Each structure stands twice: as C-alpha cells, then as structure tokens.
Amino acid sequence: MKYLLLIPTLSLFISCSSKETEFCDCLSAGEKLNNYSSTLFDKEITEEIKNKMETLKENKNSKCEAYEMMSGEEMLELKKNCK
C-alpha cells in the first residue's frame, strides 16, 4: 500500500521539477534574445544578424509557449526557483 502512495507523489514531484526547469529555460531564451537585440541599435542589419535574431525568437517562442497565458504572479513564483 505504501508503494501505491509513493508513485503518485514521485510523479508529482518530477512533473513540478520539470515544469520549473522548462520555465527557467524560457527565461534564459528570453534573456538571450533581449541581450542580442540590445547590441543591434547601432549596427546595420545584415542577413546573418537577421537570421540569428529569427533563430533566437523561434527558440524563445517554442520554450515559452506554455507560459503565454500564465499570470504574472504565477511566473514570479516559478522564477524564484530559477538560478
């Protein structure tokens, strides 16, 4: 009987941990995009720069898709667990 309670508890812990990791990945992707775009203010946009920017945007969008409708309060709670 103890094992039946242990399995759902472990799966809940793993799913929460996974969600936090995914959110931290989303934050990291957003930060990379912001940092890169902030270096472009005084540069002429080349095809290479445009392609890198698109790649960073796509990466951020794919990693953050699950969090688009999340409230700010929920995001701040998840952010606390990111390093």
pLDDT range class, residue 19, cuts 50, 70, 90: low
d(CA 27, CA 37): 15
Tens digits of per-residue pLDDT, 32-80?
Answer: 999 999 999 888 999 999 999 999 999 999 999 999 999 999 999 999 9
Whether the predicted pLDDT of 1 surpasses 60 = no
Amino acid type, 45: I
Say if residues 26 and 65 touch (Cβ distance below 8 Å).
no
Number of H helices, E strands in the chain: 3, 0
Predicted confidence at residue 48, as pLDDT, reads 95
Mean pLDDT, rounded, for 16-42? 88
